Chains A and B, each alone.
Chain A
Amino acid sequence: MSEARPIVVAERPVSGTPRPYEFPPFERRRLPNGLGLILVDLPGRPLVTASLVLRNGAADEPAAEAGSTVLSARALTEGTEQHDAIGLIEVAERLGASLNAQAGWDGYTVGVDVPVERLGPALELLAEVVEHPTFPAPEVERIRDERLADLLQAKADPRRRAEEAYADTIFTLDSPYHRPAGGTQETVEGLDRERLAAAWRRGHDPERMTLVVGGDLAGLDVAAMAGDLMADWTRADGAQAAGPITSASAVGKRFVRVVHRPGSVQTEMRIGHLGLPRRIPDYHAVSVMAAILGGLFNSRLNMKLREERGFTYGANAGFDLRRAAGPFTARAAVHTEATVPAVLDTLAELERIRDGLVTDAELRAARDYLVGVFPLRFETPGAIVGALGGLVIQDLPDDELARYRPAIEAVTAEEVHAAAQAHVHPDDAAIVLVGDADAFFADLAAAGIGPVSVDREVVPGHETAGPNGGDGAG
């Protein structure tokens, strides 16, 4: 009689042979008026993404008009010289197309996702929106009021409150990153159709605009289609090249700022400081370091705070790499009783990544993940077009994506260590906590982390302020 079959196979399988993979090749050219064109043919992908990218974002707007760029993107599809807002929506919907525009800190995109057989009319619609937007006053006012109400909602939401308080804490007042990209109550109240139109015109220069189209483009002359629609575009009045962006740290010595939210059952924790811009020589080492520290599920921070301590549903840390230095942030929502231990654990992990070399196993896992996940990240035209648009906005070379994988594979433990020492600074970190200060203030003050201040601002929908309200971080 033979032995009973084991329930499972003990031996772990070895991987097969990887199928060769390269980031899809793309073609880059310019129309006679300077408009950039990037076409990427993706056989078997019948849903096409077309995206017009402008190198002009919220970081480029005047401080007094903060929010004008983000809101101009929301208003861009609200009417053209040919169609009112509803007309525009209905034309797009009949094509099964989703027409969208959005702006972030670094750039502005106007895009459409559409089945390939209707790409022609969808591009016509995109061109109409770009060339002939009317920014109707009633729609602009509605969008402005929606943003004002959204700011009220943001104050009640602990996550959004923490993100806003953190940016407010770590960046100097003259940095645009100090404020929300969508603007503040004071600035948004002053926005109108002229200011939104001006924000849009600021980036409207064919020399600095690029149309990226990806999908199954077989048999289509997309360059000719784009030429017919866009070759006669000219520079708008008020268009200007994006200048340098001010980004500087407001943090000197380490301190704690608590935003009091009475009755919170969790504390939203943000710890960090001024980080890095996208264009840096050690980008790949920074990527691997951030993955080990707080990017992977099995990152040091998540393993400590979640899998060992059970303080949180998830913890992460990383760099928001922008045209100028964005924030470096470690973040988690932890139950209120765990607030002080979670801060101490996080600071300890920020120290530890600086203190010594990561292990071979950590290094391999992070590199293998970043390299291996590439084909999954770029499975769809939308993801590929988005990545190519990112190259344009960050002014990166054409081979940036193609050389990403070999560059990541070459990162050493020493380079990770150097990146940590250069870019992670727990002694100079701001610690921003949105939670019930009364529950942990005494422990926090006694923990020797740094000076502690508490904001007890009156928030609509919340309890009234305590007697010592309103002291900000110093």
Chain B
Amino acid sequence: MSVPRVSFTDGRLANGLRVIVAEDHLAPVVAVNIWYDVGSKHEQPGKTGFAHLFEHVMFQGSAHVAKAEHIALVQAAGGTMNGTTWFDRTNYFENLPSHQLELALWLEADRMGTLLDALSQDNLDNQRAVVKNEKRSSYDNRPYGSWDERMRATLFPPEHPYHHTTIGSMDDLDAASLEDVSAFFRAYYAPNNAVLSVVGDCDDAQVRAWAERYFGGIPANPAIPPLGDLSLPPVIGLEHRETIYDRVPLPRIYVQFRGPVLGDTRLDALEIAAQILAGGKGSRLYRRLVREERLAQDVALFTLGLIGGASISAGWATARPGVEIERVEAAFHEELDRMGREPVTADELARARALIETDELGALQRVEERADRLSMYATLLDDPDLVNRMLDRYLAVTAEDIQAICAAVFRPDNRSVLTYLPEEMGAQAAEDVA
């Protein structure tokens, strides 16, 4: 089986905007995806959540586009769009019928060039309220919703920007000002800090001409603030443990580890390990904890690839009613430890490879995903061609590679364990002590 190759061209405008184009005329659709090299890791203390709030402001209009009109125009063109913010990036994308491509380029250029022309206190206040409701919906009002924030703080030291979440804190969101928006825009939203990828039913030369027409007049920022040294020791150095009594029906453990950075081939091996441990119903953790010993209601383990010093390997398991969480945790750790002690079997590796091949084939079917990956690999690793090489890298991972990285990552002095228990168990524990 072969996954179709993504053929692309890669160049820069005079102002530094990197433009990547991949023609594919299979369907009359096109994807535009622009990554800015700015994320929550660029936030200063007291300003957590700001990169994401800023992303919302990017939909509030610019010199020639009214509030909410960006989305209205894209939808009326038959398109879909969104923006996302993460530790290492902020991205914006539009997927459109191919004859509407020029509209998306014009819209993205208008906000890259002139966002501050339309900035108002009302719009900032409105989006601050929206983002605070996003935080409530996605974290504060959900069972187990505080896990991300709690674990992040234990995996990374306070002076490291991965210490805080992308959504940030309510207090910091409240404190964000128009001046903060202007300063952030001027510092980071420059063409030489962005990668524009266009994938689908388009003409390479035409896209480059349009890119020049719409983005070419936007000045570069010669002084993008450099990020400090984010390097970290490969392991945390001790085990963090915390127990929370909360309004949850079933006990659950969250377990996280530091792992190698994105781009390091050892992270490829860690991802295959996660596939073997928890990638579906044939995986080791699911088989043992859910199926055979029936300790857990669900299990998960996955990696979040990051470039700033360390990636995250994260997992969880929810206890079945009546099962002590300690038994769940012990079995979870045993399975991870076993990965570092003995090689996975040839059959396990073959199955993991076959599934990853199918996953890649499925993901890359869509122009949206190809555009996102081209921008990602160009922004984070200066290597957009990784879109074509990652599958081969995954398939090259050996049982020895997996054992070595699991031994290095899944160690007690590199893990953080957060246990949620129903609050009535807390009341019971307090009574027992009294």
A contacts, CB < 8 Å to B: 5-10, 12-13, 15-21, 43-47, 85-86, 89-90, 93-98, 113-115, 117-118, 142, 145-146, 148-150, 152-153, 155-158, 263-266, 296-298, 303, 306-313, 333-335, 364-365, 368-369, 371-376, 379-382, 459-462
CA distance A47 to B28 in the complex (A): 19
Contact with A146, one of B219, B297, B347, B365 (Cβ below 8 angstroms) = B297
Contact with B217, one of A5, A19, A311 (Cβ below 8 angstroms) = A5
Given contacts A9-B213, A307-B68, A364-B76, contact A312 B133 (CB under 8 A): yes
B140 within 8 A of A: yes
CA distance A312 to B297 in the complex (A): 32
Q: Are B366 and A379 in contact (CB under 8 A)?
A: yes
Contact with B109, one of A9, A142, A296 (Cβ below 8 angstroms) = A9
Query: Which of B77-85, B174-182, B324-332, B333-341 touches A?
Result: B77-85
Main secondary structure of the interface of B (DSSP, over half): helix
Note all chain B residues with C-beta closer than 8 A to A369: 75-76, 78
> Would you give the shortest CB distance from B417 to chain A, in whole angstroms?
21
Note all chain A residues with C-beta closer than 8 A to B110: 8
Q: Are B100 and A142 in contact (CB under 8 A)?
A: no
Q: Are B99 and A18 in contact (CB under 8 A)?
A: yes
CA distance A44 to B2 in the complex (A): 12
Note all chain B residues with C-beta closer than 8 A to A153: 143, 249-250, 297, 318
Note all chain B residues with C-beta closer than 8 A to A10: 63-64
CA distance A9 to B136 in the complex (A): 39
Q: Are B422 and A379 in contact (CB under 8 A)?
A: no
Q: Are B78 and A96 in contact (CB under 8 A)?
A: no
CA distance A5 to B216 in the complex (A): 9
CA distance A264 to B109 in the complex (A): 41
Given contacts A13-B102, A93-B280, A310-B125, contact A155 B249 (CB under 8 A): yes
Contact with A379, one of B29, B109, B142, B291 (Cβ below 8 angstroms) = B29
Q: Can you report 21 A-B residue pairs in the complex whose CB atoms are below 8 A from each other?
A: A10-B63, A12-B64, A13-B103, A15-B77, A16-B99, A16-B101, A19-B97, A21-B28, A85-B281, A93-B280, A98-B280, A146-B320, A149-B318, A152-B250, A157-B142, A296-B72, A308-B126, A313-B137, A372-B77, A372-B97, A376-B80
Q: Are B78 and A373 in contact (CB under 8 A)?
A: yes
CA distance A297 to B28 in the complex (A): 23
Given contacts A46-B4, A115-B1, A379-B365, contact A313 B75 (CB under 8 A): no
Contact with B79, one of A12, A312, A373 (Cβ below 8 angstroms) = A373
Q: Are B136 and A156 in contact (CB under 8 A)?
A: no
Contact with B218, one of A8, A18, A19, A157 (Cβ below 8 angstroms) = A8
CA distance A297 to B110 in the complex (A): 20
CA distance A306 to B67 in the complex (A): 12
Contact with B248, one of A94, A142, A156, A263 (Cβ below 8 angstroms) = A156
We find that the number of chain B residues with CB closer than 8 angstroms to chain A is 87
Q: Are A375 and B97 in contact (CB under 8 A)?
A: yes
Residues of B211-268 whose CB lies within 8 A of A: 213-214, 216-219, 247-250
Q: Are A16 and B250 in contact (CB under 8 A)?
A: no
Given contacts A371-B78, A461-B248, contact A265 B64 (CB under 8 A): no
Contact with B320, one of A86, A145, A310 (Cβ below 8 angstroms) = A145
Given contacts A8-B113, A12-B64, contact A298 B71 (CB under 8 A): yes
Note all chain A residues with C-beta closer than 8 A to B29: 375-376, 379
CA distance A297 to B72 in the complex (A): 7
Q: Are A372 and B100 in contact (CB under 8 A)?
A: yes
Given contacts A9-B109, A376-B29, contact A313 B130 (CB under 8 A): yes
Q: Are A9 and B137 in contact (CB under 8 A)?
A: no
Given contacts A46-B1, A153-B143, A379-B366, contact A372 B134 (CB under 8 A): no
B152 within 8 A of A: no
Q: Are B126 and A307 in contact (CB under 8 A)?
A: yes
> Would you give the shortest CB distance from A386 to chain B, in whole angstroms?
14
